[in-house]
Amino acid sequence: MGEVAVEWYDPLDSTEPWPRVLRRFQPTIIVACWSTPLLPEPAAGQPLPRYVCHLAGSVRNVVPRWFIEQGGLVSNWGSAVCEQVAEQALLLALAALRNVSDWHSYIRDYGPLRANPALVLRTKSLYGRRVGIHGFGRIARALLDLLHPFRVDVAVYSDGVPPECILAHGATPLPSLGELFAQSEILFECEALTPHTQLSVTRNLLASLPDDAVFVNVGRGLTVDEAALKQEAASGRLRVALDVVHEEPVTSRTEMFSVNSAILSPHIGGPTSDEHPRCGEFALSNIQRYLSGEPVHARITLESFDRST
């Protein structure tokens, strides 16, 4: 393979602008992650990198569409963390159904009175529920597998996904987002964020969910009207559990943080801490495949780029 030159660049520490680093170093391969800046247009005569190996999932903030159009190779972590994000979605749904947010206050206020905890906490089961999933990417399909033991009826809406694909995975395709929300006792928001899906979950859609329904978001916060969601959660009409919000990272000043009944996790769906090494191993394997002239795994095509967050 010959000599390999490696340069580490951390935009949070470096004073050298990213375009200047690229002009100076002229990398063949860029190993990117969450804080990697967007690849800029090259200066005249400056060679483009040939391969961007993204350690995470969303590539839109790292590579522009023109890079792929001009033959640039891009990969991400593929399905490496989808099962963990689906696991987080299931955890949030169960936590909302069992009203985890009120456990502490129940123990403090009602425990000595021996009040019936299930009645006071309004606990509910997932078994046999009507479940809706908005989006049908890898995370949604992994979630379907986790839901099977609960004997739920699962309906799906995802614009552009053929009904045959949804049927093949054992779910019912619906023709509109409105129908999905109106019939779902538990709604999982898994859709990617694109210009088309931004704020697609409107106030009216949230209002169409049945009373006491559960709304879980493990996709992207900006797909949802957050002000309307806050009102639904604060009124107690909906049970809300979120791994993503409009402005991240989540802090005590986050809009939804003031709603005591809302369950928030700080965008930790995946990878879990024990799975970080596997993401690195996947990237190293892809780099080795590229250097050996083999096709890389989890390649981002123009079609997948357009559908992704």
Confidence check: pLDDT of 70 > 70: yes
- Those residues with Cβ within 8 angstroms of residue 69's Cβ, 6 or more apart along the chain or in another chain: 302
Q: pLDDT category, 115, cuts 50, 70, 90?
A: confident
User: For strand 51-54 and strand 186-189, is the pairing parallel, antiparallel, or unpaired?
Assistant: unpaired
Residues 6-43 as b or e (16 or more Cβ within 10 Å = b): eeebeeeeeeeeeeebbeeeebebbbbeeebeebeebe
Q: For the chain, what is the mean pLDDT?
A: 95
Confidence check: pLDDT of 286 > 60: yes
Instruction: Output the pLDDT for position 3.
Output: 75
Residues 125-151 as b or e (16 or more Cβ within 10 Å = b): ebeebebbbbbbbbbbbbbbeebeebe
Phi, psi angles (nearest 5°) of residue 89: -60, -45
Instruction: Output the pLDDT for position 109.
Output: 87
> What are the pLDDT digits (tens) for 122-159?
999 999 999 999 999 999 999 999 999 999 999 999 99
Average pLDDT value for residue range 84-92: 99
> What are the pLDDT digits (tens) for 2-16?
678 999 999 989 999
Between 111 and 239, the more confident residue is: 239
Q: Determine what percent of the chain is predicted with pLDDT higher than 90.
A: 90
Assess contact for 187 and 134: CB atoms under 8 A: yes
Instruction: Output the pLDDT for position 112.
Output: 67
Element holding 173 (H helix, E strand): strand 172-173
DSSP, res 224: B
Assess contact for 188 and 93: CB atoms under 8 A: yes
Phi, psi angles (nearest 5°) of residue 226: -70, -35
Residues 224-234 as b or e (16 or more Cβ within 10 Å = b): bbbebbbbbbb
Rounded CA-CA distance 212/223 in Å is 21
Handedness of CA 200, 201, 204, 210 (dihedral sign): positive
Confidence check: pLDDT of 57 > 60: yes
Instruction: Output the pLDDT for position 18.
Output: 96
Instruction: Output the pLDDT for position 150.
Output: 99
Assess contact for 67 and 52: CB atoms under 8 A: yes
Domains and CATH numbers, the chain: 18-79+273-307 (3.40.50.720), 82-264 (3.40.50.720)
Q: At what angle do helices 82-97 and 138-147 cross, to 10 degrees?
A: 50
Handedness of CA 282, 283, 288, 294 (dihedral sign): positive
Q: pLDDT category, 308, cuts 50, 70, 90?
A: confident
> What are the pLDDT digits (tens) for 187-232?
999 999 999 999 999 999 999 999 999 999 999 999 999 999 999 9
Rounded CA-CA distance 80/139 in Å is 10
Average pLDDT value for residue range 290-304: 97
187 beta partners: 132, 215
Instruction: Output the pLDDT for position 1.
Output: 55
Element holding 109 (H helix, E strand): helix 103-109
